[in-house]
Structure formats: structure tokens, C-alpha cells
Structure 1
Amino acid sequence: MNPQAEFPEAFEICQQFTISHDQMIEVIERMTKEIKMGLARDTHPRSVVKCHISHVQDLPTGLERGKFLALDLGGTNFRVLLVTLISDSESDMISKTYIMDKSLIIGPGSELFDFIAECLAKFCKDHQVERDNLPLGFTFSFPLRQDGLANGVLTAWTKGFSCDGVVGKNVVQLLNEAIARRGDLKINIVAIINDTVGTLMSCAFSSRNCRIGLIVGTGTNASYVEKTANTEMLQNFHTSSKQNMVINCEWGAFGDNGVLEFIKTSYDKQVDKQTPNVNKQTFEKCISGMYLGELVRLIVVDLIYRGILFKGKSSELVFQKWSFETSFISEVESDAPGQYRNANIVLDKMGLRQATDVDKRCLRFICQTISTRAAKLTSCGLVCLINKMNANDVTIGVDGSVYRFHPKFHDLLVHYVSKLLRPGYHFHIVLSEDGSGRGAALVAAAAVSNKQNPSKYTYQ
């Protein structure tokens, strides 16, 4: 395929999304500066990459045992899990997913937490643990400022949530109040974590040198292991008895201060204007599943208007905002060269049924352009964290729908991280097996055991 010769107009548009090696190095340098600012007390208020302290300082040792509850709230599906840690490599999980009505994610915060408490109560009664006072870890995949392991204040809603009365409040307290209103449940909430922290912890259970947790799904974020001596936002950081601290970067906001303008396109700016959080989550809007499909749609619509794609013919659906799902990108790119089975299905869903093979190749090229840029930027973030830790052999735990289902995203990450890393550095990227469940349980296990025996859990 020669895109420049076959569809020059589309090629010209897609060139705007091309990021050179030198530009990738610049992204790494600018993110590094923001992370250092986020960690330092004097500059933290000005940094857009907040580097929130997770208060998780104990990675899995293999000694964790017992039953733990876990909650996972990060999108329109909410899960409750019962995790049994059996050995240093074995765990058993029972879970149930509850679908939330849209009214819950935009309505009063009290209704959201009443719903969570109701689901938790039903689950616990089904498994006869409602009075066992089991330790619970809460994976809450929204930006939190944590003043303790079980004290997380929501700083902003993302992913389409906008519940009143939650921003600026301790989420654990809101859940405890909802549980208390019911009066039929005895639970001990010992930890609240971000999904990236859960991913890191879950992968560290089987890969002891895992030091980065990455999410590339509806949103994107990463956590990593930092020296406690560098975490100035931690009270008494200089006298902490533990050497390391897991940091929740909240890197989706990278670029909100304008430092990524040099890679943004007019299409990025169009997508941004269509969101409820304009000029926020700049990095995320270039990478995550909530936005990639819309970038493709905008390019396709532009080419339809010019009479280049589909002979200028369109459908009502293609002009609807957000109608081109990011999953369609994965489907289109899953076709073998010269094959269009998945592309035909996607085009049929979009009402575009008169596409030529050239149209389909053009669509694939657009999808590849958008997903490749997302992988390049994600790679920049990973290299930034590896360099910051000075880790010459590190495992990266990854979860999220974009990473899981895109046919080439893993390979793209490996390729670009390899090109950007300094010689002699080694890394492994592994898929997290239910980090939001097992990870939260492991944090809860470490929290409980640490209270009982403070010297037992240390980094290896």
C-alpha cells in the first residue's frame, strides 16, 4: 500500500498526526519536568501531572493470605469481588458486574454511593460474608488526592461522570455513610486505590520486578514506584521508614498547560471542544478509547465533504458525534492485508455501504495513523517513568480495552519503547490479570498485615 499515491488527501491529513523521534524525545523531557514538579512541594500546585501519593508502600511479597473484598468503579460497569489469596502465586476470585444507569453517573453523588452500597450488600449476602467484617480495597479510577491509604479526596470527575457533591470529598467516607444508611453490612474499608496502582500490584504478585502500572482504555494513566525521599507531598517524607512509594501520576492531564501544543492537530482541538472538560486531559484525549474513534470519524467526515471517500456519499450516522467507536479501529486493523471482512462490518454499522477497496484501505490507514500516535505517546510516558526510576530491568503491567483488544498496540509499545530507551535498559510488558480486583485485595492484605506486623512487608 502506497498511501501517498493512492489517497494523497488523506495522507496529507494524517501527516499532521505523525510524531518524529525528536518530537518524542521532547515529549519525554517535558513530561519529566512536569513529574518532578508534581513531586516537589514548592512546584506541585503548578504542575499538571499531579503525581498523587498513593500511600501504598508495600509490594506483594507472596506472604499474603486470606479473604478480601474489592470494589472496582471506573466506568459504567461497577464490580464487586471476593478474592481469596491462597499461596504466593495462586488466588481465587468471584465477581459480579453491575451495570449503572446513566442517571447514576450524572445525578446526585448520594445516589451513586447508595447504589454501590446496595450492590455490595447483595453480593456479600449471596456469599454469606455480610457480617464477617472483611477488609475491603476500593479501586476508584478517578483523580484522587490521598491523605492516607483509606482517605481519598476526589479532585475531578472524568470519563463522563459528573455526580454532584463528590468532588472535594473523601470517597471512602461517602461510601461508609451509604453503608451505614443501610445498616445490614459489616465491612472494613482499609484502602482506596487507582486502577493503575491495582494493575501494578496485581502484576507484581507474579512478576516481582513490576514497577509500573499502565491503563490504556477508556482513559489513560500510569503509576510507578518512586523513592520516598522524592515524594515531598508526603508528610514527614524525609523520615519515612520505607524507601519507596507508589505514585499515581494522573498523566492524562499532561499538556493542559500548553506544553503539548506542538503535537496537537485541528482535529484534536475539535474533539476537545466536544467534551465536557474542554482544555483538560490533553494527553488522554490523544491516547484513550474515549476519543480515538471520534478522531477517525472527524477525518472521515472531512474527506466525505471533499468528495474523496465513498464518492462523497455518506450516512446519517457518520455525522453523529462519537458514533465511530474506538473498538471499530481495532476491528478494521485486525483485517489481514487485502482482506476487508471486519472493515465491511464496521462500514455496514456506520451505514456506509458503497465503499470501494480503495476507501477501505484509506480507512485502515486513518485508523493506523491514530492508533500509532497513541502508542507513540504512551511509549514516551513509559520511557519517562523508566528513566525517572533509573530502572535497567523493569516489568510494566498493563490493562485497558485499547491495549487488550487492539491487534498491534502491544507490538507498537515494544517497538517504540525499545527505540527510545537508553542502551542496556530492559523491559517486559505484561497484561494484567484483573488488576482492579486482585490488586485492590493485595493492597488491603498488605494494609492489614502491616498493622499487625509492621516489619513483615518490605520491597524486595
Structure 2
Amino acid sequence: MQPFIAAMQKVRQAFLAAIIKSFLRTKHVLQTILNIWISPSVIKDENGSISSRNGRRLGAAEFVEVVENAFRGLVGRTRLVALSDGLRKEFLDSMYDNPLCMLPSYNHQLPSGEERGTFLALDVGGSTFRVALIELSGRKSDGQECKILKRNTFKIDRTVKQLKGVLFFDWMAERIEEVLSGQAEGHDMSNAPLTMGLAWSFPIEQTSLRSGLLQAMGKGFLAAHGLLGQDLGDLIQESCSRRGLNVQLNAIVNDSSATLLSKAYIDPATRFALILGTGVNAAVHLPVHVFSPPKFGVRPPEWHNSAKHVIVNTELSMFGRGILPYTQWDELLLSVHPNPTFQPLEHFVSGGYLGEIVRLVLVEGIQTAGLFGGVVPPSLRERYSLETETLSHIESDLSPNLTKAQAIFLSRHPTNIPPSTTDLQTIRLIAAHVTHRAAGVVAAGVHALWQLRNEAESILPHESSHTLVAYNGSVLENYPGFKVTCQKHLDTLVEASGGKKGSIELMYAEESSLLGAAVAGAVASLDG
């Protein structure tokens, strides 16, 4: 009997020691207990590497099972409901006193669908400037509601980025002139000025629908040099006037607002927008009464008199600190991140980070489960070297031998030990588990906004009508199965909260920046 008792004490001590070691490493004791409960057959050594309890090295299949439990186990129905509730609480708190998130725009009107005419749309991004002449024909135009008559894309290279101050806006005006000089016949600009809408992908302190104070642009741009705090709308308007262009800038919007407006013009059920590419953001149309007055800053009385609702830039990426479903690989990513607390949700879902999470998991699989013959390819030793786009190509290869996937992987990550079919299948599975969790987190964020809007409008979940979420961005548009998985998570969350499946639907918004800018300009011209 005594040997049995002694043996049991050793087992208990070993179990407690495993918990304490893991707790000291992750500082998430509840998560640690859950991970041990979910994967009782594996433990980690003193270096944090995964191995079986009998000390042998895990095989590839066992390692993938551990990864699956770690990622998919964190986004089941109950946990996603809890995450959605936590995010909704953060949204509500931010609507009172957070100067960085849940920001009411100046766009207080959704399009009626009756706006018609020809408008000029401008889209300034980090690498391109796009100009388009767009004809709006009304919501009942049988698929011809928005027609792009002329569109040019101009690369913003290093030389353009280094244009200081007004020189950059003069460059914009020259490009606008190029487009208008060859515009389609039948659009005479000799009389009333042509209305412009601008989608601006950089920070500004917006002061009206058509104006905002210029801030540092980052990404190597020098356009704000000597112009910080000056009005962006005036700068563009003055550069156009110097070239004799008969145009008038009526609206400035960000990417998420433009996406919402572009789809709302076509379908009046649109109340949300979701951007998921290198980064993540969302917009929502909410009643103004749910915000504290300071959130609106200083606005003219006429704005407050006419605004019953407002399009809100949520800055979704900044939410979720402390409540997101972390794994050890997330902790590893954040341990060397220069600003680990700034955009918590973005670290889990965006194309800028999905590849890095998979890389961290894969490297551990190589070191502990013998993938790639136990040798880490040189390029995979570098942070952020495994791109989400590469994973997208690998996941889209459904052939038995993954021939295309191997060619793509080797072209980007050459190694003396080419990956076997098993290695590539393992990468596909790891990527699938990581993106499954990402889709769940995105769905929880959208569901939280849906519930927030329902509460603000006094709509019970089971009474909520069919509502659209306009989306774009490389991950939602191009990553195999991501949008479908996200929609499934959304349906699960809606049903869990008492709503009907299909109450909220993700819908692609084509050319959203350009069309949204044109619609914003059209709405503003009628409102003015």
C-alpha cells in the first residue's frame, strides 16, 4: 500500500509542477488548466516544446491534433458567445470616453438609392491613387446602379511619396486632370462643378463631411510636411483650382465608411461594413443618442439638428485585450512585438499576422515532431517570412500530391530538404486551424456590433430583419473558405442569441472605396 501511495504522490507532484511551469510561462492559469484538460496526452519540456507524456517525440498527426485542440477548442459556440459579449461591453464603454475607438463620422445619412448623376471618386492608398468617373443611376436599375465610365490607377512610388507638402496635392490634381481630359462623351463639365468624393486611407481629424485636419501620413509620405493641421479638403481643392479644374470636393470618408455606403446604395438592408486584409476594421450605422456628447467633439448646430444616426468607424482592431482566445503561439508572437497591446484583435485575424502565427506553429512542429526532417528552412527562421498569401495558395491546392503547393512553397522558401506531401498536408491543416479561429473571432466582433445595434434600436433578436455586412479585403475575398467559415460562425452566434439563421449576411462590396466615395459625394451634394 505504501508504494502505491508514494507513487500517487509523485504523479500529483508532477501534475502540479506542469501546471505551475505552464502558468509561469503564459500567466493564463485558466487557459493552462483547459489546455491540459483538452490535451491530456501531451506535455511540454523545460524549453516549452511539445512531447508525449512518455517522453517520446510526437508524430506529425499527433502534433496537428494538439494544434487543432489549441485553436478550434477556443472558438466553440459557448466561448464565441462569451467573446461577443465581452467585445460588446468594450464597444459600449468606448462610446463614452475612448478617443481612439467607436468614432462617429460626419456621415449621418445613408443613401436613399435615388441619387443620380456623374461623380468623380478619388481613392488614396498606401501604394496607389485611383481616380474614377462614376455614373449613379439609382437603386432600381437592374444591376446597373453604379457604372464606372473611366478609371485610372496611378502608382504611388518612392518619388511620389517624397513630394513635400502641396507638391503631393498638385500631383494628385495632375492625375485628376488626366482622367477628366479623356472623359466619356456626354458629360459636359463646362457649367456646374463636378462633385468629388474622397476615400482617404490615412489619419485626419475630420471637422466636417468635406474637411479634416491633415496629420502625419506615415509609410514614407512627406505630403504633410509643413502642412500639419491644415485642411485636407482645402488643400486638394486649391490644387485642382490652380489647374483650372471645375470640380468640388464634397465628402471625405475612410475605407470602412466607403464600403458601407457603396453597398447601402444598392441594398438598403446594409448597416455594417467589414474590412479584412492586411489589417481589420468595421463600420456600423448607429443612432446618435447612444453616444456621450463629448464623442462628437465640436460640430455645428445644423449637424446635430439633422443627424439622427451616424456611420461609426469602430477601429475594431483595437478591441479584445485580455478576452481574446490566446494560445502559446500568440504569446510568442506578442513577446517580440514592438507594440503588443495596441491592436489586439488584429493580431488574431488579419493577413498581416496569420502567416506569422502559422510559421511559429510550424517551426515548433519541425523541432518537436520531425516535420521537414527536423530541419527548419533558413527563410522560416525569419519573423513574418511566411506570408498569408502563401498559405492561401497551399490551402487552395486540393490535388493528392499537392504539386502546386510544393512549387509555391519552394519558390518562396528554398531548402535542401524539400517538404514531403505529409509536410505540406500538415501545413495546410495548421493553417486551416489558425484561420478557423480567426474566422470565429471576426464573427464574434460582427455579432457584437449586431447586438449593439439591435439594443440601440430596441430590436429583439428574433425580430431583427435581414441585415447585410458589406465586406472587402484580401482575406475575406481570397483566402479559401474564410468567408464561408465566418458566415457559419455568425449563424451560430445569431441563433445562440435568439435570432434567426441568416439574419445577418456577409456580402461582397465590389470596388467599395471608389463607389463609396462617389456615393458619399452624391449624398453630400443633395444634403447641402
TM-score (norm 2): 0.74
- Structure 2 counterparts to residues 13-92 of structure 1, below 5 A: 13=67, 15-18=69-72, 19-20=74-75, 21-40=77-96, 43-45=97-99, 50-88=101-139, 89=141, 90-92=145-147
User: In the superposition, relative to structure 1, how do residues 438 and 377 fare at CA in structure 2: closer, same or farther (>3 Å)?
Assistant: same
Whole-Å separation in 1 of the counterparts to 2:230 and 2:385: 34
Matches of 1:91 and 1:162, distance apart in 2: 32
For residue 204 of structure 1, report the CA deviation from its aligned partner. 1.4
Matched with 1:336 is: 398
Deviation for aligned residue 1:428? 2.0
Indicate the SS of the match to 1:67.
Answer: strand
Q: 400-409 vs 272-281, which deviates more? A: 272-281
2:173 counterpart of 1:117: yes
Query: CA 1:360 to 1:380, structure 2 compared with 1: closer, same or farther past 3 Å?
Result: same
- What is the aligned partner in structure 1 of residue 196 from structure 2? 136
Cα 1:104/1:366, change in 2 over 3 Å: farther
**How far is 1:201 from its partner?**
1.2
Tell me the SS of whatever aligns to 2:498: coil
Q: Does 1:285 align with 2:347?
A: yes
CA drift at 1:108 = 5.3
CA change 1:170–1:272 in 2 (3 A) is: farther
Map of 1:410 onto structure 2:
483
Is 1:217 equivalent to 2:277 in the alignment?
yes
CA distance in 1, matches of 2:472, 2:265: 15
Alpha-carbon separation, structure 2, partners of 1:106 and 1:291: 29
Instruction: Report the CA distance shift for 1:14/1:437 in structure 2 as closer, same or farther (over 3 A).
Output: same
Deviation at 1:440, TM superposition (A): 1.1
Residues 343, 440 of structure 1: alpha-carbon distance in 2 compared, 3 angstrom cutoff:
same
Q: Name the CA distance, whole Å, in 1 between partners of 2:278 and 2:366.
A: 27
**Secondary structure, aligned partner of 2:123:** strand
Runs of 5+ consecutive residues of structure 1 not aligned to the other structure: 452-460
* Match in the other structure for 1:367: 431
Instruction: State the shift of 1:343 in Å.
Output: 1.8
SS at match of 1:208: coil
**What's the % identity of the aligned pairs?**
27
Task: Tell me what 2:66 maps to.
Answer: 12
Q: Indicate conservation of the 8 Å contact 1:375/1:413, yes or no.
A: yes
1:240 aligned counterpart, secondary structure: helix
Verify the 8 A CA contact 2:262 2:512 in the aligned structure 1.
Answer: yes
Report the Cα offset of residue 347 of structure 1.
1.5
Aligned-partner residue type, residue 437 of structure 1: L
Q: Shift in Å at residue 337 of structure 1?
A: 7.0
- 1:435 matched residue in structure 2: 512
Residues 318 and 111 of structure 1: CA distance in aligned 2, closer, same or farther (over 3 Å): farther
Aligned equivalent of 2:414: 351
User: 1:458 corresponds to which residue?
Assistant: none
Partner of 1:230: 290
Letter in 2 for 1:420: L
> How far did residue 183 of structure 1 move?
3.4
| Counterpart for residue 377 of structure 1 | 441
Unaligned runs of 5+ in 2: 1-57
Which residue type is aligned with residue 418 of structure 2? Q
Task: Decide which moves more: 169-178 or 95-104.
Answer: 169-178
Deviation at 1:146, TM superposition (A): 2.7
Q: Report deviation, 1:448.
A: 0.3
- The answer to whether the Cα contact below 8 Å between 2:401 and 2:421 also exists between their aligned partners in 1 is no
Is the 1:53–1:146 Cα contact (8 Å) retained in structure 2? Answer: no
Say which SS state the counterpart of residue 395 (structure 1) adopts: strand
TM-score of the superposition, structure 1-length normalised?
A: 0.84
User: Which residue of 2 is the match for residue 101 of structure 1?
Assistant: 157
Change (3 A) 1:82 1:26: same
Report the aligned-residue RMSD: 3.1
1:215 and 1:398 in contact (8 A); partners too:
yes
Larger Rg belongs to: 2
Distance 1:178 1:312, change over 3 A: farther
Deviation at 1:412, TM superposition (A): 0.8
> CA 1:351 to 1:103, structure 2 compared with 1: closer, same or farther past 3 Å?
farther
Partners of 1:108 and 1:301 in 2: CA distance: 44
- 2:317 corresponds in structure 1 to 252
CA displacement at 1:169 relative to structure 2: 5.6
Moved more, 84-93 or 112-121: 112-121
Q: Deviations over 1:125-176 (max 9, x none)?
A: 3328887731111112345543321123467768x56656477664334434
Cα distance 1:270–1:68, how it changes in 2: closer, same or farther (>3 A)? farther
